[in-house]
Amino acid sequence: MKQIWSVVCTVIILGTLLSACSSSGNQSKTDQAANGDGSNKQKEVTIKVVEYKNLEGYKDIAREFEKQNPGVKVEFSYINSVDFDPTMKARYAAGDMPDIFNNWNVDVWKDFYEDLSDQPWVGDLFEGTKGFVTRDGKLLGMPYIIEGAGLVYNKELFEKAGITATPKTFTELKAIAQKLEDSGTQPFVNSYGEPLFQLGAHFFNNAMDRVDNPVQFIEDLRNGKAHLVGNPMFEQMLDVLRFSAEHGNHKDLTTDGNTQANDLVNGKAAMALQGNWIQDNVNKSNPGLKMGIMPYPFTDDINLNDKINMQIYSLAVYNKSPNKEIAKKFLNFLVTSDIGKKTLVEVFHQVPAMKTIKPTEQFVGPINMDLLSYLEQGKVVPVAFWDYFPIATDIGQVLQKFVANKTNSTQTLKEIETLFKNWR
Amino acid sequence: MNRVWSSSIMQQIVFMGPFVVLFILITAIPFTFGIYYSFTDWNGLSDKLPWVGIDNYKFIFTNDTAFIHSLWFTIRFTIVSVILCNVIGFIIAYFLSKPLKSRNVLRTLFFMPNVIGGIILGFIWLFIYTQGFSTIGEYTGIAFFNLPWLGTETTAFWALVIVFVWQGVGYIMVYYIAGLANVPQDLIEAATIDGAKTLQILRNIIFPMIMPSITVCIFISTVASFKSFDLNYSLTKGGPFLSTESVAMNIYTEAFAKNNMGLGAAKAIVFFFIVMIISIIQVYLTKKREVQV
């Protein structure tokens, strides 16, 4: 009798284990079978959308879309941008890929994106927004929102210090910093405790996206053909970095992005290297505050300075998704339907990448209107940090050492050159 | 025949089988894959796995200063935190095995940090170091609180050690309490009657008797601090300037943020052998000192 029990137990235990391992595989197969024929509308189809921006208001668009397309459910989830890539890889490994997700590290993920060149919204895009998601002539995502990075400043504090025009050169920047300090305002607030986004991506990018051909230049750096030491643009970038640290907050190496944004929005300092996304913080904690954005004036060459670093927030469709036609339909709905257009401007408070959607200051706020005017004048340059994104954190760490006065500018540039050479 | 079947093989399958299956699925197979990946240039996503031979290993030992640096940090961190964890853990356990009124409450309190996960602890202490300490410093002017705790290499190192020891000490304490409870009282009484002082009792009776606990505690704390990842990730993110990047973090960023799965796997294999060798040496050395009554 005892033997029988032990045999039964073993079979049950092993059986449970094996079935647990295979259950997810079966599940996805039946899903595919259900959605494959498309005509079968009784089965519910769920479109999973994963984003790195936490945009409230998607629900309204989704409900409207679900009403017009019975049997379709739209589900949103949000991943913090720093964890976006690792989380997506984990979801890919687990067979849990969403149908719509952000373009992030396009060169790594390019085999996973659906080509969207034939979509109806392509003609509405602003000039220059397609480059970020175009590879081998294919449009691998839908540019959705335009973001601008630069020096975000508090217009009220500028007025108080008697500053009438924004600085266009490094010399002018020094002069206005002096004026701000005379009026009792701290000129900068820096979050140099963030090696990736503050330093490695956005600060270093100021110089990188202004070289003639960033992609080629990075390639040359990796092969040792190009050099940063002796390159005036990169040396000036470090001068500006030092200047901003000297005229900024103490303990900047332990300040994070949230603290920086709060200090800026609450008037503790006049300027910060940030982007138009800070309008959200303004709306939340100090609504109505007059802020603006300008390009970071880090050289004395006006033509070089006077361009906002443009970043594209875009959505891609997973090319192996069984529901990709519905996913494309949803993307189209986002930017062409009335509720989609309205939500983008009035609820998300964003600058759309489509010319057909007109933002107004009442909803998007003054920073975004500044960005829009730069955009309409064509004074924008696409950010280059995606081209060196895997080592951006390391570059940020090297720049932190510079901010802490542990290395001089030649050593810093040399270390960054080594990073490029050792990057594989 | 029937008896042999029921007594040994079947019992082993029933009691060991599930574990062996889990071990093979969760540890052995991924480990074998890891060894294979370490000889390739895989980016973690693509279908292609280009074979590169021992290039990854060559790169680690010749060019990768960041890895060597993180290894050196991990070794320093391990030495300091193992010593502190065990010394403080033993002292707490020693006093909490005395008949104190509040000892159950105190044991619970010391063990509590261990129940909270490392990521959450990291965020709590991030707040304490950046906001809490500086506010206390502003009002009291004590220099200790005005240090830029996570801003310089030395203070960030000690900030991590403090949190790690604070978290780990409760666990170590439990082991030592169990060890101390097993020391025969008659030996201590006999020594006291013979006129031995507390320190003499500690050195000649208690330490030899709790040597098995010491072996286990040092082993646990060594492996835990060698593999430390979540605290570094949430508290310092490896900063400032990569000075507090542990090896586990270095491997994680290499494999997942820089998309070099192959190189990351190679680092993980190297790390595995280092931890294994150090643990074997440590267990061998402390085992030799264990005594039997």
| pLDDT at res. B269 | 93
Q: Report residue A178 as tokens.
A: 């002096």
Interface of B with A (CB under 8 A): 2, 5-6, 10-11, 13-14, 17-18, 21-22, 25, 41, 43-46, 59, 63-64, 66, 129-130, 134, 148-152, 237-242, 252-253, 256-260, 263
pTM: 0.79
Instruction: Sort out which chain B residues have CB atoms less than 8 A from A195's CB and list them.
Output: 237, 239
How sure is the predictor about A7, in pLDDT bands with cuts at 50, 70 and 90? low
CA distance A217 to A207: 12
A204 and A336 part of one domain: no
**Are A66 and A82 within one domain?**
yes
Mean pLDDT of B153-179: 91
Alpha helix (H) ranges present in B49-64? Answer: 55-62
The burial class, CB within 10 Å (0-12 / 13-18 / 19+), for B216 is: middle
Taking phi first (over 0 means left), then psi (-120 to 50 degrees means alpha), and beta for anything else, what does residue A316 get?
A: beta
Q: Output the six-digit token pair for B258.
A: 């820089």
Asked if residue A31 is part of any domain, the answer here is no
Same domain (yes/no): A305, A321 = no
Task: Show the DSSP H helices in A110-169 as ranges.
Answer: 155-160
Distance CA A364, CA A370 (A): 10
Nearest to B263 among A3, A391, A424 (CB): A424
* Mean pLDDT, range A392-420, rounded to an integer: 90
Instruction: Give a yes or no: residue B166 inside a domain.
Output: yes
Overall average pLDDT of the A104-120 stretch: 88
CA of B32 to nearest chain A CA: how many angstroms apart? 17
**Contact, B77 vs B231, CB < 8 A?**
no
Q: Which residues of A touch B18 (CB under 8 A)?
A: 13-14, 17
User: Is the confidence at residue A32, as pLDDT, over 50?
Assistant: no
Predicted confidence (pLDDT) per residue in B219-278, tens digit: 899 988 988 898 888 888 887 888 888 999 999 988 888 888 899 999 999 999 998 998
Q: How many CA atoms lie within 13 A of A304 on its CB side?
A: 19
Alpha-carbon distance of B37 to B52, in angstroms, equals 10
**By the 8 A CB rule, do A9 and B15 touch?**
no
Q: Does residue A23 fall inside a structural domain?
A: no
* Tally of CA atoms within 13 A in the half-sphere of B74 that contains its CB: 27
Pair A115, A190 in one domain:
no
Say which of A10, A390, A406 has its CB closest to residue B17.
A10
Residue A392 has pLDDT above 70, yes or no: yes
Q: Provide, as residue numbers in chain A, all residues whose Cβ is less than 8 Å from the Cβ of B6.
A: 2-3, 6
The answer to whether residue A4 sits within a structural domain is no
Asked whether the predicted pLDDT for residue A12 surpasses 80, the reply is no
B155 exposed, middle or buried (CB, 10 Å; 0-12, 13-18, 19+)? middle
Radius of gyration from C-alpha coordinates of chain A: 25
One domain, residues A159 and A265: yes
Give pLDDT, residue A29.
Answer: 41
| Co-location of A136 and A224 in the same domain | no
Give the confidence band of A399 by pLDDT, cuts at 50, 70, 90: very high
Q: Residue A380 — φ and ψ, nearest 5°? A: -135, 155
B109 C-beta neighbours (distance < 10 Å), count? 11
Across the interface, which of A3, A111, A401 has its CB nearest the CB of B6?
A3
DSSP string of A253-287? GG--HHHHHHHHHTTSEEEEEEEGGGHHHHHHHST
User: Which residues from A are below 8 Å from B150, CB to CB?
Assistant: 193, 253-254
In whole angstroms, what is the distance from residue B91 CA to residue B105 CA?
Answer: 17
Domain of A263: which CATH number?
3.40.190.10
**A388 and A300, same structural domain?**
yes
Q: Are strands A100-102 and A45-51 parallel, antiparallel or unpaired?
A: parallel
Q: Strands, E, within A127-265: which ranges?
A: 134-135, 138-139, 142-154, 186-188
Q: Are A249 and A180 in contact (CB under 8 A)?
A: no
Between residues A19 and B204, the one the model is more confident about: B204
* Per-residue burial over A3-35, b = 16 or more CB atoms within 10 Å of its CB, e = otherwise: eeeeeeeeeeeeeeeeeeeeeeeeeeeeeeeeb
- Res A21: pLDDT: 45
Please name the member of A2, A14, A21 whose beta carbon is closest to the beta carbon of B6: A2
Facing B241 at nearest CB: one of A17, A397, A423 = A397
Q: Is residue B25 part of a domain?
A: no
The verdict on residue A52 lying in a domain is yes
Do A401 and B241 make contact, defined as CB atoms within 8 angstroms?
A: yes
As a whole-number percent, the residues of chain B with pLDDT over 70 amount to: 97
Residue of B nearest to A421 (CA): B63
Mean pLDDT, residues A394-410 taken together = 90
Boundaries of domain holding A303: 148-309+383-422
A273 and A249 Cβ atoms separated by less than 8 Å? no
Residue where one domain finishes, among candidates A369, A395, A414:
A369
Phi, psi of A291 (to 5 degrees): -125, 165
Instruction: Determine contact, residues A126/A310, Cβ cutoff 8 Å.
Output: no
Number of domains chain A contains: 2
Task: For B60-102, write each residue's pLDDT tens digit.
Answer: 888 888 899 899 999 999 999 999 999 999 999 999 988 888 8
For B220, residues 6+ apart whose C-beta sits below 8 A from its C-beta are B171, B172, B175
Q: Give the C-alpha separation, A315 to A144, whole Å.
A: 7
The 8-class DSSP code of residue A134 comes to E
For residue A409, give the amino acid letter: S
How far is the CA of A100 from the CAs of A24, A320, A357, A407, B111, in angstroms?
21, 11, 22, 44, 45
Coil/strand/helix, residue A48? strand
pLDDT in tens, B113-141: 888 877 888 888 888 888 888 888 888 88
Among A33-42, A149-158, B197-206, the least confident range = A33-42
Average pLDDT, chain A: 84
What's the whole-number mean pLDDT along residues A119-130?
Answer: 86
DSSP string, B7-20: IIIHHHHHHHHHHH
**Distance of alpha carbon A107 from alpha carbon A129, whole angstroms:** 16
Does an H or E element contain A311, and which? strand A308-317
Predicted confidence band of residue A8 (pLDDT cuts 50, 70, 90): low
Query: Per-residue confidence at A110, pLDDT binned at 50, 70, 90?
Result: confident
Q: Do B257 and A85 touch (CB under 8 A)?
A: yes
Mean pLDDT across chain B: 87
Evaluate whether residue B135 is within a structural domain: yes
Whether residue B38 contacts residue B32, with contact meaning beta carbons closer than 8 Å, is answered with no
Query: Do A204 and A60 belong to one domain?
Result: no
- Per-residue confidence (pLDDT) for residue B1, from 0 to 100: 55
Give the pLDDT band (50/70/90) at residue B293: low
Do A6 and B11 lie within an 8 Å CB cutoff?
A: yes
Residue A171, token pair as written in the block: 């010399």
The answer, yes or no, to whether residue B183 has pLDDT greater than 80, is yes
Q: Is residue A77 part of a domain?
A: yes
Instruction: Please state the domain count of chain B.
Output: 1
Q: Taking residues B158-174, report their average pLDDT.
A: 91
Nearest Cα residue to A353 out of A171, A142, A126: A126
Please tell me the distance in Å from A205's CA to the nearest CA on chain B. 18
Distance from CA of A401 to the nearest CA of B (A): 6
In the structure, what pLDDT confidence band is assigned to residue A26 with cuts at 50, 70 and 90?
Answer: very low
- Residue in A89, A391, A393 nearest the CB of B45: A89
The whole-number average pLDDT for the span A140-160 is 91
Identity of residue A271: M
Q: Which of A14, A80, A397, A405 to mutate to test the interface with B (most CBs of B within 10 A)?
A: A397
DSSP classification of residue A126: P
pLDDT of res. B169? 92
Sequence-distant (≥ 6) Cβ neighbours of residue B293 within 8 angstroms: B184, B187, B209
Percent of chain A predicted with pLDDT > 70:
90
Q: Give yes or no: residues A80 and A114 share one domain.
A: yes
**pLDDT for res A35:** 45
CATH number of the domain to which B260 belongs: 1.10.3720.10
Q: How far apart are CA A53 and CA A342, in angstroms?
A: 18
Contact (CB, 8 A) for A216 and A226: no
Alpha carbon of A22: minimum distance to chain B alpha carbons (Å)? 13
Give the pLDDT mean for B172-185. 91
Q: Which residues pair with A314 in a beta bridge?
A: A143
**A209 and A294 housed in the same domain:** yes
Stretch A65-78: mean pLDDT: 90
Domain co-membership, A328 together with A360: yes
Query: Looking at the structure, do residues A173 and A283 belong to the same domain, yes or no?
Result: yes
| Cβ-Cβ contacts under 8 Å, A81 against chain B | none
**Of A81, A138, A61, A73, which is closest to residue A317 (Cα–Cα)?**
A138
Cβ–Cβ of A390/B134 closer than 8 Å? no
Angstrom distance (rounded) from CA A192 to CA A361: 31
Chain A contact residues (CB < 8 Å to B)? 2-3, 6-7, 9-10, 13-14, 17, 21, 85-86, 89, 92, 105, 108-109, 111-112, 193, 195, 251, 253-254, 256, 259, 390-391, 393-394, 397-398, 400-401, 404, 406, 422-424
Mutation to test the A interface, candidates B241, B242, B253, most A Cβ within 10 Å: B241
Give, in degrees to the nearest 5, the angle at Cα A377 between A372 and A380: 75
Mean pLDDT across the stretch A331-338? 89
Range of the domain at B184: 62-288
Per-residue pLDDT band at B27 (split at 50, 70, 90) = very high
